[in-house]
Amino acid sequence: MTSIGDVELRSIVKFCVALEKSPTETIKIINSTGKYKKCSPATVYRWHAHFKEGRNSIEDDPRCSWQSVIACSIKDSVKDSADDLVKHTQAIVSSFTDS
């Protein structure tokens, strides 16, 4: 989940990109506010690049949680095992019926 501070910071970076400010100028503007002292220059450079490439959203991209990744993996494994069981059962049944 995106914090309000992150959204504000990204909004500033997006605004600076719209004004055609460089990442270095953007960092100076952010530091001049005094509010974002913990802001990493690498973060500003990264978001500056995203917005310059055409990104519009200031929110985080949706991510899969580790729980859903594990659940999908288990679901796939169970389905594969069930498919194998059906094939094996069909082979056994056909071996009896073919004789």
pLDDT at 15: 95
Q: Strand locations in 1-99, DSSP E?
A: none
pLDDT at 91: 81
The structure's pTM equals: 0.60
pLDDT in tens, the chain (99 residues): 457 788 899 999 999 999 999 999 999 999 888 888 778 899 999 999 999 999 998 887 776 666 666 766 777 777 777 777 888 888 888 887 765
pLDDT at 64: 64
Place of tokens 């959204």: 7
pLDDT at 69: 66
